[in-house]
A and B are shown apart, each in its own frame.
Chain A
Amino acid sequence: TTTQKTIHNYFEWA
């Protein structure tokens, strides 16, 4: 099975 990551897993708040 695969898990959908979110953008927050990679990009920080500026």
Chain B
Amino acid sequence: MFEASLAQSAILKKVLDAIKDLLNEANFECTDDGIKVQAMDNSHVSLVSLELRSDGFEKYRCDRNLSMGVNLASMAKIMRCSSNSDKVTIKAQDDNPDKVSFIFESSNQERISDYEMKLMDIDADQLGIPDTEYSCVVKMPSAEFARICKDLNQFGESLVISCSKEGIKFSTSGDLGSANVKLAQTTDADKDDAVTIEMRSPVTLTFACRYLNHFTKATPLSSQVQLSMSDEIPLLVEYRIGDMGCIKYYLAPKIDD
């Protein structure tokens, strides 16, 4: 038996919006600790790692570890049938379920709807993600990061991110011309609009702008985003999901031949 409830479906809708364009399907691994999803996009250029801890749910029960193969477009369709303020309960009866139920309850309890979704067999092994001490870790407003990715995507396919003591610079160029956005570190680190940089050594890396734009679908989840970079390894873009978990995107760099 698996059962997990959230007081408001809005958070689950945002989580799904953050991954559904990048991934077609994924296994939701449910354990006593919570729900984890790890999956790569079709081209295996990026990897999504999602964690929702059990203590962040209003109610959570997972008698046996289970893996639910989910078509994310189908789940998104179902989640769109909920109101943001609805309580949502995810329920699977068997230890090896072939379907999962979503129950939405309005705040006044006057409307209860349930949707059953067929599960899939997804043959996907997990990847081991090495612990890394990154050369640069930048925290910045998530809306600013989304704006930069959107603006610069108009100029070129590749985005160069350079990080140094002075700040972080995003650059691109293409047929139309070139574009640069520089952000300096702010003095007040506690505010939502703060830009903070922890640097061991400066880094310059090139990434496909298209994927970065996909990652910014997570913007509604968190006011801040964290970018972690080291030379010639994947960029880590991380959004917190309240106090209950986080969504991490890894993006393989483009390397000069």
Which positions in A face B, CB cutoff 8 Å?
Answer: 1-14
Contacts and interface: CB of A to CB of B under 8 A. Distances in A.
Given A12-B127, A13-B127, A6 B252 contact: yes
5 contacts: A1-B256, A3-B257, A6-B44, A9-B252, A14-B126
A4 B128 contact: no
Contacts of B108: none
Given A1-B257, A2-B158, A3-B255, A10 B234 contact: yes
A4 to B, nearest CB: 5
Interface in B37-58: 40, 43-47
Which are the 6 A-B pairs with shortest beta-carbon distances? A2-B254, A14-B128, A5-B252, A11-B127, A14-B126, A6-B44
A7 B43 CA distance: 9
A6 B43 contact: yes
A1 B44 CA distance: 20
A13 to B, nearest CB: 5
A7 B125 contact: no
A14 to B, nearest CB: 4
A12 B129 CA distance: 7
Contacts, number: 55
B40 A7 contact: yes
A11 B39 CA distance: 12
A14 B250 CA distance: 16
A6 B45 contact: yes
Nearest to A1: B257
A12 B128 contact: yes
A11 B40 CA distance: 11
Given A2-B158, A4-B45, A4-B208, A10 B233 contact: yes
Nearest to B158: A2
Given A11-B47, A11-B129, A11-B130, A5 B254 contact: yes
Contacts of B254: 2-5
Nearest to A5: B252
Nearest to B38: A14
